[in-house]
Amino acid sequence: MKKKGKSENISPLHALLPGAKITNGGGKISVNVGISAETLIFNIGGVKFETYRSTLYKQPRSPLAKHEFLLKHYRPEFKDYFFDRDPDTFKVVLNYLRTGELHLPTYICGPAIKTELAFWGIPDGLIERCCSVNYNSYNKTLEALNQLEHDRKGSFILSQEDSNSQNITKIDRFRTKVSLVLNQPDSSLMAKVYGVISLLVVALSIISFLAESHPAFRITDYYTEVTRVFNETLNSTIDVVTEKSEEVPHPVLLRMDLACMIFFTIEYLIRVLTARKRLRYMRSVMGVIDLVALLPDYVQLLILAFDPAVAGTDTAKIIAILKVTRVLRIFRLVRHIPGLWILIYTLKASLKELLLMTAFLMVGMLLFSSLIYFADDRATFTSIPHSFWWALITMTTVGYGDMYPVTAWGYVIGSLTALSGLLMIGFSVPILVNNFLMYYKSVEIALEEERLTRAKLCQESSHSTDNNAKLELSTNENNNKGENIFTLEMSEKL
């Protein structure tokens, strides 16, 4: 819904009322009908307010200026108007009717004020600028946390309400259980076991990837290369066989990679098949990471299967370089470590701040690299693009020492570069830190609520099982008593 601006509350007819006054610049219309001795008493959530009736008529569009609205809440026995609403917000509304300016206290949550203002018929577009900053901050924080919760749960897991629904099919229930096992390690014992296995496989895959580059885990592979050479003496082409050697990973590492690839392939297919929205999962960050980490292995297998001669060529080396994407499997840990997922989500949610910091960094690099090029030694700073590196490491306060100024003006420019870098970090980093802390606390609260909900469900399930067992036991006892009475009566008759 489009937010109503202040201009939409202006009605030319209100300006024709007796005592109407239009404020300069603001465009607000307030009607002064004179001060009378008649007062009204409002009971707002147990707190009493008393004001002149004429005060309610200063803002003609307010519901409090309508007799029908007040009549619905009038109590003859107490001679007051009762509203079961927030008294602090009503104080804000009453001051708005008195002064025509809408100011908000800083201790009330923005969404709560929004709900109360909607009840009293006052659009939030009338909030003064001095108070709108905190108000908008509250609302944006709420929207960010709601989006965080939506992204955390994801669209591929059926909610608890959906899984308990009577309309859900058995297939959907099965998909829900599988999704819970795959994505929520704390949901059940099976999910915990699978989570441990998944972590071990991820660790094994990363260890294998790292070990392939270590000399201790590489062996020498000897092979022969046949080259056709023209022999001028024989006037014919002969085959020259040359023995060559190459360092290759140990076969055990290759078997480990194959086992991990099979595990990740099966897991990826199960995730796709059990996802509520498969296309959305495949386009998600984790879906793309899972797929990209698998593709180089399959490309290498297919190429070697169709043309084994490719081994050892430049094509095989390019494919080996692409296998570096397997290190992305470390991001699978985000399903088991909430802090890592929150860190990635914070970077994603703070994209505007990061772009602003990058723009500031690019401007600083262009400015200070140009200045240092013209002010310092050309032997060190050979060109402006070459000076970008010096400006970058100076603004980020790294300072490797491979390039440094040697003239007086160079020292001045270097000092200004370092100071601007400190300002850039000081302006941008606190925003990222605040976002991270906000998201981290929110996720911690959500996880604790989910844990308590699961514990409550388990407790209710155990109580239900105990009650059923007691009912069955009492039924058996009643049946046994009936059999004993019947046997006693038969024996008496005999």
Is the pLDDT at 292 greater than 90? The verdict is no
List phi, psi (to 5°) of 62: -75, 140
Q: Quick one: pLDDT band at residue 287, thresholds 50, 70, 90?
A: confident
| Residue 108, pLDDT score | 82
Comparing 87-91, 253-257, 317-321, the range with the smallest average pLDDT is 317-321
Q: Quick one: pLDDT band at residue 242, thresholds 50, 70, 90?
A: confident
| Residue 156, pLDDT score | 39
Q: Identify the burial level of 387 via C-beta atoms within 10 angstroms of its C-beta, where 0-12 means exposed, 13-18 middle and 19 or more buried.
A: buried
| Residue 413, pLDDT score | 94
Cβ–Cβ < 8 Å for 43, 80? yes
Comparing 70-84, 145-159, 187-201, the range with the smallest average pLDDT is 145-159
339: tokens are: 């802090």
Determine what percent of the chain is predicted with pLDDT higher than 70: 76
Top-ranked range on mean pLDDT: pick from 47-56, 222-231, 346-355, 446-455 = 47-56
Comparing 19-23, 40-44, 154-158, 480-484, the range with the smallest average pLDDT is 154-158
Q: What are the CA-CA distances from residue 262 to residues 175, 255, 256, 282 (Å)? A: 21, 11, 10, 19
Is the pLDDT at 4 greater than 90? The verdict is no
> 3-state SS of 326-362?
HHHHHHHHHHCCHHHHHHHHHHHHCHHHHHHHHHHHH
428: tokens are: 């941008």
CA-nearest of 269, 438, 463, 281 to 350 is 438
Mean pLDDT calculated for residue range 10-25? 49
d(CA 135, CA 105): 10
Residue 185: its H or E element: none
Is the pLDDT at 160 greater than 60? The verdict is no
d(CA 8, CA 123): 10
d(CA 206, CA 327): 6
What's the mean pLDDT when you consider all of the chain?
77
- In this predicted model, what pLDDT tens digit does every residue of 37-51 receive, in sequence order? 688 999 999 999 999
- In this predicted model, what pLDDT tens digit does every residue of 54-72 receive, in sequence order? 888 887 778 888 888 899 9
Q: Quick one: pLDDT band at residue 395, thresholds 50, 70, 90?
A: very high
Mean pLDDT calculated for residue range 172-178? 80
| Residue 135, pLDDT score | 82
d(CA 291, CA 207): 20
d(CA 338, CA 346): 12
| Residue 19, pLDDT score | 44
d(CA 141, CA 133): 12
| Residue 161, pLDDT score | 41
Residue bearing the bigger pLDDT, 480 or 301: 301
Cβ–Cβ < 8 Å for 35, 55? no
Q: Quick one: pLDDT band at residue 469, thresholds 50, 70, 90?
A: low
| Residue 369, pLDDT score | 94
Mean pLDDT calculated for residue range 356-367? 92
277: tokens are: 């929205």
Comparing 213-227, 255-269, 367-381, the range with the smallest average pLDDT is 213-227
Determine what percent of the chain is predicted with pLDDT higher than 90: 17
Is the pLDDT at 83 greater than 60? The verdict is yes
Is the pLDDT at 494 greater than 90? The verdict is no
CA-nearest of 489, 442, 460, 242 to 346 is 442
Is the pLDDT at 93 greater than 80? The verdict is yes
81 Rama class: left (phi>0) / alpha (psi -120 to 50) / beta: beta
Is the pLDDT at 381 greater than 70? The verdict is yes
| Residue 177, pLDDT score | 82
| Residue 340, pLDDT score | 78
Q: What's the half-sphere exposure (Cβ side, CA atoms, 13 Å) at 258? A: 7
- Range list of β-strands (E), 62-101: 74-75, 80-83
Comparing 14-28, 133-147, 387-401, the range with the smallest average pLDDT is 14-28
| Residue 288, pLDDT score | 81
CA-nearest of 87, 82, 117, 83 to 103 is 117
List phi, psi (to 5°) of 41: -110, 125
Is the pLDDT at 81 greater than 60? The verdict is yes
Is the pLDDT at 154 greater than 70? The verdict is no
- In this predicted model, what pLDDT tens digit does every residue of 411-455 receive, in sequence order? 999 999 999 999 988 888 888 888 888 888 888 887 787 778 777
Q: Quick one: pLDDT band at residue 2, thresholds 50, 70, 90?
A: very low
